[in-house]
């Protein structure tokens, strides 16, 4: 179920640096200490995404990893996106 604008804002206020991009995406940049660490981080995100069957859009730019989330089959933001965002934040803590 797509979240209302109010629900999105409430979830964003509980998030750690995730930002609304348009009306259908949330995104965050993660900076790692090296390119190999960035790749390891992305690999960990891929494992989480597969387990959840909820796959992010990922851009790798040397040590910076940009992650964007939206629930495509729902056509916008759902609780799945924010649950994945929190899981990705917890995973990042292991790499920083």
pLDDT of residue 15: 94
Sign of CA dihedral 49, 50, 52, 56: positive
Query: Residues in the chain with pLDDT < 50?
Result: none
pLDDT of residue 39: 98
pLDDT of residue 18: 98
Domain ranges of the chain: 5-93
CATH level 2 (architecture), domain 5-93: 2-Layer Sandwich (3.30)
pLDDT of residue 96: 82
pLDDT of residue 56: 98
């Amino acid at each position: 179920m797509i979240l209302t604008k109010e629900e999105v804002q409430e979830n964003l206020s509980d998030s750690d640096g995730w930002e609304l991009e348009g009306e259908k995406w949330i995104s965050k940049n993660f900076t790692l200490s090296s390119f190999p660490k960035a790749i390891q981080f992305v690999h960990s995100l891929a494992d989480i995404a597969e387990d959840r069957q909820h796959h992010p859009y990922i851009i790798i730019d040397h040590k910076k990893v940009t992650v964007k989330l939206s629930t495509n089959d729902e056509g916008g933001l759902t609780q799945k996106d924010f649950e994945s965002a929190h899981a990705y934040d917890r995973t990042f803590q292991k790499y920083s």
